[in-house]
Structure 1
């Protein structure tokens, strides 16, 4: 790569390193800087890495040692890298200007944001909420880096290996189109929450019938095929309706986008209560979800097709942050998510990593997800003069 580029300099270098190389990061980064020229550098350690080789083939490397380096020339872009310590967040009840100063990003020139977080960071949910508060019009895509045993962070920014969070404000003539594929299909009816406490469902209703969440789930499972019930043993989730994902009572434009898919984390056999990895409240709707490969393929393909049709110009790059639970473990074959993208956008270069949690918008808010594929389609979108 260095020989091909010669003395040419890129605007942005994206570096994703598998955890096999984590202990080598302090030596690897200076070597890359010596051999490759770029104004800005950003990256993270991944449980696996995603990249495009010199023949143009996009590849997901899940278990082997790998390094993905993507060099981008972005004429007319305003790129603002940042590195922040997540143990000292601004007050969520404070002003948005406090967050602007903390991120050191100008909201007037930030159209989109890339956000990478160290797995040892605290306050990740508050960080994402604060980002939304300060930059509501800027879509955000990213992920939680992979953990490792080396005595340093999992993030790369400039010539430093750091912890906390790093990212990039993107503006000028460029933006990121976000696509979040949750990879589940609904099973059974939509239930209304009648009683709950924090993240625990106590009573659900379907029409005039009220019952415990466990009893409702048992009815749903009874209607499934034997294969589906077997799948539900380790692939069962709950979709929690978010009112902010529905506008004016209309149906969401994205498949399943009214429901934020969350893990089921416990059952109380004494009263049939179910705990879910999301705070819930009476009046919300919920629906059980089954995660499986065909639904994941169909959903991702639909969402990427819709993004392609909405865009005035094709993307230069697809940034992919995928859950460690996807890949061959979900699809049964290698390159599952990149193959879906290439079936929609055949020549799309792809870069990214397998993450411990994915960051992306659903409806009007950014969320920390699990088991998803969060895409950021980087494209040129000149501002009107």
Structure 2
């Protein structure tokens, strides 16, 4: 039986059928046969040509299953291409893997929240997938609602993916095989394939953790015995003078994923935006529904925290899963707010993955929102790096 293999590559430039065909034929030759699954991440400017690109990949790549998604940039094997025309592609050949695609519509997601109904709709039972890939058009599909349903229908099964990106709705596209999908695509991966997801949210805790003692939906009133605003001010004052100068717009809230910890560290929180703060009432509005009794800690997002977080998570993944064997391939979903905008230089995230996993086939995109698990639940993230390793 053939051993599982993967290959990846990137093409920078406007769409060219001949150049695309040459790249695809070269990848298939390196793979040594037909792929089981092909994944394409294209710049948003490729949206008008995505059907033609999928045609090339299907015909000359012999891909029986192809998923393509647009983003605000793409990446492959240590290089990031932000706001550039082009695409990256990953071919995965795995004789013992089965991939089951499901086209998703907004109407289905809005109408059906029964987990058993989703087992029937997808044909996939609660424990029958090693993991799910999920790509969605954020202008159409209610992704957070879908993930809440998925967490109940497929408990503790990881989901990796992201939201298609583009300057407008017309540049935001998801394709299944050669056809555009209005809402999104989920792919169940079954069989003897490892599916390991790392999510780095790019923040570190500041100040102290608090118990929420007063809240109404997404408005925090009191944390512990003081106001939410006072706790925010205290966290801000705990920063160095240099950190305070750069902190404006970069402080977030973190909701503890598990309450049962003696000490909370980076990565123990689901990070969400602060929408506003009122010193007179002490209230802080946040981008999440909060409840009394939750543990919360303010978070700082900066380049050093983002790089340190991803490095630590990748090193832990390498030590736990890949100390005695090599991963097969990686898929990467990066927030469009990372890259040069965060680090000042291009390629920091993709380069770090290549540094720790040399010569690993990898492809991905700059997304409008990144999907991945924190703890046992899957969430939609912002400002994060979500990395899937196949083994």
TM-score normalised to structure 1 length: 0.89
Q: What secondary structure does 1:67 align onto?
A: strand
Matches within 5 A, 1:196-235: 196-205=215-224, 210-235=225-250
**Aligned counterpart, 1:30:** 55
Does the CA contact (< 8 Å) of 1:86 and 1:127 recur in 2? Answer: no
Pick aligned residue for 1:298 from 299, 303, 308: 308
1:72 matches 2:82: no
**Per-residue deviation, residues 174-199 of structure 1 (Å, max 9, x unmatched):** 13101000111111111221111011
CA separation of 1:97 and 1:226: change in aligned 2, threshold 3 A:
same
| Structure 1 portions without partners, runs of 5+ | 53-57, 380-385
Shift of 1:303: 0.8
* Deviation at residue 33 of structure 1 after TM alignment: 2.3
Question: 1:76: how far off?
Answer: 0.7
- Deviation of 1:9 (Å): 1.8
Is the partner of 1:44 in helix, strand or coil? Answer: strand
The equivalent of 1:50 in structure 2 is 75
1:383 counterpart residue number:
none
Partner of 2:366: 354
| Structure 2: segments with no counterpart, 5+ residues | 1-22
Q: Do structure 1's residue 117 and structure 2's residue 147 form an aligned pair?
A: no
User: Alignment partner of 2:109: what SS?
Assistant: coil
C-alpha distance in structure 2 between counterparts of 1:152 and 1:264, whole Å: 29
Distance 2:380 2:353 in 1: 22
**Contact 1:322/1:353 (8 A) holds in 2:** yes
How far off is 1:11 after superposition? 1.0
Structure 1 counterpart of 2:320:
310
SS at match of 1:78: strand
- Please report how far the alpha carbon of residue 139 of structure 1 lies from its aligned counterpart in structure 2 after TM superposition: 1.0
- Over the aligned positions, Cα root-mean-square deviation in angstroms equals 2.1
Aligned with residue 372 of structure 1, among 356, 359, 384? 384
Partner of 1:280: 290
The equivalent of 1:339 in structure 2 is 351
Provide the C-alpha distance between the structure 2 equivalents of 1:274 and 1:362, rounded to a whole number of angstroms. 24
Of the three residues 330, 333, 341, the one matched with 1:321 is: 333
Check the 8 A contact 1:114/1:141 in 2, yes or no: yes
How far apart are the structure 2 equivalents of 1:351 and 1:273? 42
Correspondence 1:102-141 to 2 at 5 A: 102-141=121-160
SS in structure 1 opposite 2:64?
A: strand
8 Å Cα contact 1:78/1:109 also seen in 2: no
Aligned length: 364
